[in-house]
Structure 1
Amino acid sequence: MQMMPSRPDKRENRSLPLTFLVTLVILAIAGCGDSGNGTPTAKSPSPRKNTQAKVEASGKSNLPTVRPGQFEPKAITTSKLPTPKLDERRSLADLANQDDGGDGGAAAKKPIVLTVTPRGKRLPIDDTKAAVAGIRKLIGKHLTLYTDVPPSPEVDELPAAFDAAVPLWCKYFEVDPMNAMDWHMTGFVIQEKARFQGAGMLPDDLPPFINGFQRGRYVWLYGQPTAYYRRHLLLHEGTHAFMDLIVGGLGPPWYAEGMAELLGTHQWQDGELTLAYMPRQKTETPGWGRIKIVKDELAAGNGMMPANILEYGPQAHLRNEPYGWCWALAAFFDSDPRTQKAFRELRKKIRTEDITQWFRQQVQDDWADLSEDWQVFVMNIDYGYDIARSVIVRKTAQAVPASGATATISADRGWQSTGILLTAGTTYRIDATGQYQVAETSEIWWCEPGGVTIHYFQGRPLGLLLGAVRDHSQPLEGMSPLVKPRPIGLGTTLEPEVSGTLYLKINESPAELGDNQGQITVRVQVQ
């Protein structure tokens, strides 16, 4: 983790007033948060001009799978944003009501841009002294690792995993691999602190950290109960180091920690590494727990909207929960077709721009819709969530004529507008027909709008047609009605309490949309 408590070797900006310089003197980069619970291969969908464009693969990132040594492969700005009142517990609906609407509050919030240079003294490492203390040395192309964790394949291959990450970091951040060819880090995986303190490998001027810490060309990690989370932390801190020393900037806390979490979430299988992965099963990433953090926070009434996460200050990540929220936001922005292009442009602007303000300006026209999609995302978040396929499909709606109206809904997408406008107090008859496949298994599961009663999702039959009425005539207040749908099934009578567009989807895990096939035809008539 990168943070900013007190350390005089941190960042400074000579053009700032004296009061800012005093503030900068006490800024620092601190340790990464706790674990919470999954494994990875990533391929994010390509940017699309509209939400109805063809959906590419989900759950995977566009980063290739790379074997160690396949490739042989310039420091930094960060914005200081206001620290949210972390002890003030508010619901997601409360935060949705106070969203600033998309301009980023530029007039009220002027982040400080800090120039960061390599920091910390070179450690006088004595390999003989380390060996006597029971500290082993593992050497890779881009990482020399010292550890007192007993030998095992999962520990001994950490330098190889780090080496495999370098070309992937180069690809994601659009860095010429030649610029990272000679880049080398030194890392420490610590089981007993006293050994490393005695060997001069744990400097006294390091701030306290929970799990991991990066400063200059060094990273420190405490031992973890799972091999996955140990490797995740190494890649998390490695991402910080790569952004710091190679890309040239970390950016504000939401971006710095979001990127470290996004690219730290990985798959390491048979010597091949994939980054930016959406884990499909909890068992893939034991000890990671970012999805659990979001679920637990929501259950406790502590939901976060994107605007609030963008305001995380330098002290926010002294708590574990912001890691879960930053991962979720980075995964959301990196996968949503409306934000992906602008989000990935941030890597080119962290040296010169207030990237939070710039990003908000780029997506301002979509901000209200993005905030609603975020609600649907976090309220249904789970392993394997297909963000691209779950983007809400919106279109202009028309009132139901006397002859009735029809619409077609795809089984492989999330919420979709029918283009049918319902009027409050009017009674409508809705009928649905069609067959569609809801699971790709050894045998095809064909389903109708009434659902499959031998399998349930969220307490309702799998494949059941669900509906909600969304009023687009005024800004959304509180929670979207799409978060609390009602069953439609093969048919129902509906008298909406508010006028709005009829939205439909099938009851299916957002992780399983990709293997669905078929459509539903819906007919709506005024009774």
Structure 2
Amino acid sequence: MRLLPIALVLAAFAWVIATPAAAQEPATAKPPAPSRHLILSDEPRPEPRPIRSRHFSFLSDVSDREAKLILDKLETMVGLLERYFGRRQRGVIEGFIVHDLAVWPEGVLTEPLGIKKIKEPAGICFTTALGPERRAVLYACDDPGIIQHECTHGFCHLTFGGVGPLWLAEGLAELGRWWREKEKGVNVPPVLLAHLHDADRPTLAAITAPHQPPSNDCRDYAWRCALCQMLLDNPNYADRFRALAGALMEGQPGVSFESVYGPVGREVAFEFEQFLAHVGNGSRADLTAWPWKAKQRKLAPGGVGRAKVKGAAGWQASGVEVEAGAVYVITAEGTCRLATDAEPTGPEGDAAGRGRLSGALYADFTLGPEIPLGSHTSWIAPADGLLMLRAADAWTELADNDGTLSITIRHGEAP
């Protein structure tokens, strides 16, 4: 199999999408082989041979077992992408997966940049289009995560005709690498989480700025992946994200991040900042979506407001807009369970404070510090704002919670 000469590739409106080695380190740990693969040889091949599945056709010298594992991972990934976008991959992703360059005959690998990427070790997906014909060709080392990342680029090109701007292309490719079937939570390696916890975070505008040059900084990959994860899972933005991603990859004129999310730009920026502040493996953007549409009202002296707080959610609206200097008596009852097999806890939480009713003051896209409230508190509002409530628990452990607390908020001293 030979690629088109590079000059013809460029003339045919080629896009070259590569994952820099710095953004791909450390190499993905290879999980134990499923039992159905144990009968296959684990010895690398002495020369490349074809390995194929429904959506992929490669030459590779990896072992039979590794070939089966890689193809199974890729087919699962394509299934997830097809179901999410509601579009079938058009055609087959071709290419080369290399374990040991020394066993490859001269002339089989023809692209110098592809060979360079394999040596790093890294990967690249060469994508070309000539009229309605599209092609995606992979050059990669034998790291499954790198292969999945690059093949996500290939899927997007074959299916939509392009990969979109850099923030979307690399964000989706990282998601394709780390998505797991039937799992909504964040699931990335510690090195990516460390970058997301970096205090020196770029702004939303910087991440989504058009015409960005490719970056070798793996922190950029982490920001883009996190943004796509938040937009994909958060019900405030999910429907628009799917449509936006498709339009950008198809190159529809006049469509941009700003044109779609500009009217709610401050909301997106606030939620993204909140997402990054607490992100970890298990974080669920769907459970921590901000309640922008919740009704809020001021209480007259002696007035009462009531709210329900779910254990399996982040900050929730109390329905009360507090006034600076006013006293509010907050009482709570009910129970939450903080794990599937855990004992229920009341508004005071357990001995470590997990499950305790907590509050925070929100005003003008700023969230104040968390305030312990418990079952009965007399609280003086330090400023005007909206009182937000939650049952305190680790932000990465909300998914297995259940139960509800019933809250009463009275304006003024307790009678």
Rounded to whole Å, the distance in 2 between the matches of 1:433 and 1:39 is 48
SS at match of 1:446: coil
Task: Name the residue aligned to 1:491.
Answer: 376
Is 2:311–2:338's contact at 8 Å kept on the other side of the alignment? yes
Distance verdict in 2 for CA 1:11–1:258, change over 3 Å: farther
Deviation at 1:331, TM superposition (A): 1.0
Unaligned runs of 5+ in 1: 1-6, 14-23, 41-130, 225-229, 268-273, 283-287
Deviations 1:116-137 (A, max 9, x none): xxxxxxxxxxxxxxx9963344
Instruction: Find out whether 1:233 has 2:146 as its counterpart.
Output: yes
Task: Name the residue aligned to 1:399.
Answer: 298
Alignment of 1:104-115 (within 5 A): none
Query: Which of 438, 443, 461 is the equivalent residue of 2:338?
Result: 438
Deviation at 1:326, TM superposition (A): 1.3
Deviation at 1:34, TM superposition (A): 1.6
Rounded to whole Å, the distance in 2 between the matches of 1:189 and 1:8 is 24
Deviation at 1:237, TM superposition (A): 1.4
SS at match of 1:434: strand
Alignment of 1:17-166 (within 5 A): 28-32=16-20, 33-35=23-25, 134-149=47-62, 151=63, 153-166=65-78
Rounded to whole Å, the distance in 2 between the matches of 1:38 and 1:344 is 30
Unaligned runs of 5+ in 2: 1-5, 32-43, 128-135
Alignment of 1:418-457 (within 5 A): 418-441=318-341, 444-453=342-351, 456=352
Q: Which AA in structure 2 matches 1:400?
A: L
Deviation at 1:252, TM superposition (A): 0.4
Task: Name the residue aligned to 1:298.
Answer: 197
Deviations 1:378-419 (A, max 9, x none): 111111212112112243432232224232222222111212
Rounded to whole Å, the distance in 1 between the matches of 2:223 and 2:30 is 19
Instruction: Find out whether 1:503 has 2:414 as its counterpart.
Output: no
SS at match of 2:149: helix
Is 1:436–1:518's contact at 8 Å kept on the other side of the alignment? yes
Query: Which of 125, 147, 151 is the equivalent residue of 1:214?
Result: 125
Rounded to whole Å, the distance in 1 between the matches of 2:261 and 2:115 is 37
* TM-score in terms of structure 2 length: 0.79
Deviation at 1:502, TM superposition (A): 0.8
Deviations 1:414-458 (A, max 9, x none): 1112121222233433332222222211xx5211111111xx5xx
Task: Name the residue aligned to 2:95.
Answer: 187
Rounded to whole Å, the distance in 1 between the matches of 2:275 and 2:411 is 31
Distance verdict in 2 for CA 1:279–1:500, change over 3 Å: closer
Task: Name the residue aligned to 2:410.
Answer: 524
Deviations 1:484-526 (A, max 9, x none): 3121122334333321111111112334434312223132332
Q: Which AA in structure 1 matches 2:354?
A: L
Task: Name the residue aligned to 1:415.
Answer: 315
Task: Name the residue aligned to 2:172.
Answer: 259
Task: Name the residue aligned to 2:158.
Answer: 245
Rounded to whole Å, the distance in 1 between the matches of 2:115 and 2:408 is 61
The alignment of Structure 1 onto Structure 2 pairs a total of residues equal to 378
Q: What percent identity do the matched residue pairs reach?
A: 19
Instruction: Find out whether 1:318 has 2:216 as its counterpart.
Output: yes
Rounded to whole Å, the distance in 2 between the matches of 1:342 and 1:12 is 34
SS at match of 2:17: coil
Task: Name the residue aligned to 2:287.
Answer: 389
Distance verdict in 2 for CA 1:452–1:172, change over 3 Å: same
The alignment's C-alpha RMSD in Å is: 3.3
SS at match of 1:363: helix
Q: Which AA in structure 2 matches 1:146?
A: L
Rounded to whole Å, the distance in 2 between the matches of 1:170 and 1:297 is 28
Distance verdict in 2 for CA 1:199–1:157, change over 3 Å: farther
Deviations 1:331-376 (A, max 9, x none): 111111121111111344233425762x433333332222222121
Task: Name the residue aligned to 2:234.
Answer: 336
Q: Which AA in structure 1 matches 2:139?
A: W
Distance verdict in 2 for CA 1:204–1:197, change over 3 Å: farther
Is 2:358–2:373's contact at 8 Å kept on the other side of the alignment? yes
* TM-score in terms of structure 1 length: 0.63
